[in-house]
Amino acid sequence: MSIEAARIVYAVREVIAASFGAPDPLQVIFGLNITDGLNLALHGLLKPGDHVVTSSMEHNAIMRPLNDLQQQGIAYTRVACQADGTLDPALVEQAIQPNTKLIALNHASNVCGTLLPVREVGRIARQKGLLFLVDTAQSAGAVPINMDTDYIDLLAFTGHKSLYGPMGTGGLVIGGRVDSSTLSTLRQGGTGSRSEREMQPDFCPDRFESGTPNAVGLAGLLAALEWLQEQGVAQIQAHKEVLTQALLEGLGNLAGVIIYGPRDASLQTATVGFNIQGLEPSTVGLRLDEEYNILCRVGLHCAPAAHHTLGTFPDGCVRFGLSAFNTMDDVQQAVAAVRELTKDVR
Amino acid sequence: MTNEYAVILVDSTSHALRIEKLLGNQGLTCKLIPVPRHLSSDCGVCVRIQKQDVITAQALVNEHKIVFQSIEVI
pLDDT in tens, A4-39: 999 999 999 999 999 999 989 999 999 999 999 999
Q: Is the per-residue pLDDT at A260 higher than 70?
A: yes
Distances (CA, A) of A181 to A28, A95, A206: 14, 28, 11
**In whole angstroms, what is the distance from residue B17 CA to residue A71 CA?**
42
Q: Which residues contact A299 (CB under 8 A, 6 or more apart)?
A: A281, A282, A316
Cβ <8 Å between A10 and B14: yes
- pLDDT for B41 equals 56
What residues 18-57 of chain B have any CB closer than 8 A to a CB of chain A? 18, 21, 32, 40-45
**In whole angstroms, what is the distance from residue A322 CA to residue A319 CA?**
10
Question: Residues A154, A101, A121, A105: what is their CA dihedral angle, to the nearest 10 degrees?
Answer: 60
Who among B14, B21, B42 is closest to A205 (CB)? B14
- pLDDT for A345 equals 81
3-state class (DSSP) for residue A260: strand
Mean residue pLDDT of chain A comes to 96
- Pick the closest to residue A222 from A39, A25, A23, A38 (CA basis): A25
Cβ <8 Å between A196 and B41: yes
Cβ <8 Å between A195 and B44: yes
Q: Is the per-residue pLDDT at A129 higher than 70?
A: yes
Instruction: Spell out which residues of chain A touch residue B13, defining contact as CB-CB under 8 Å.
Output: 3, 6, 10, 192-193
Range from A100-104, A172-176, B14-18, B39-43 carrying the lowest mean pLDDT? B39-43
Phi, then psi, of B70 in degrees rounded to 5: -165, 165
Instruction: Give residue-wise pLDDT tens across range A184-234.
Output: 999 999 998 888 889 999 999 999 999 999 999 999 999 999 999 999 999
- pLDDT for A66 equals 98
The whole-angstrom distance between A286's CA and the closest CA on chain B is: 47
Band of pLDDT at residue B3, cut at 50, 70 and 90: confident
H/E stretch holding A93 reads helix A89-94
Instruction: Spell out which residues of chain A touch residue B34, defining contact as CB-CB under 8 Å.
Output: none
The whole-angstrom distance between A15's CA and the closest CA on chain B is: 13
Q: The whole model's pTM is what? A: 0.94
Instruction: Spell out which residues of chain B touch residue A193, defining contact as CB-CB under 8 Å.
Output: 11-13, 42-44
Cβ <8 Å between A203 and B12: yes
- pLDDT for B2 equals 56
Q: Is A94 exposed, middle or buried (0-12, 13-18, 19+ CB in 10 A)?
A: exposed
**In whole angstroms, what is the distance from residue A20 CA to residue A96 CA?**
27
Mutate to test the interface with A, among B9, B10, B12 (most CBs of A within 10 A): B12
Could you tell me if A261 and A114 are in contact, meaning their C-beta atoms sit under 8 angstroms apart? yes
Mutate to test the interface with A, among B9, B10, B17, B68 (most CBs of A within 10 A): B17
| Mean pLDDT across A43-72 | 98
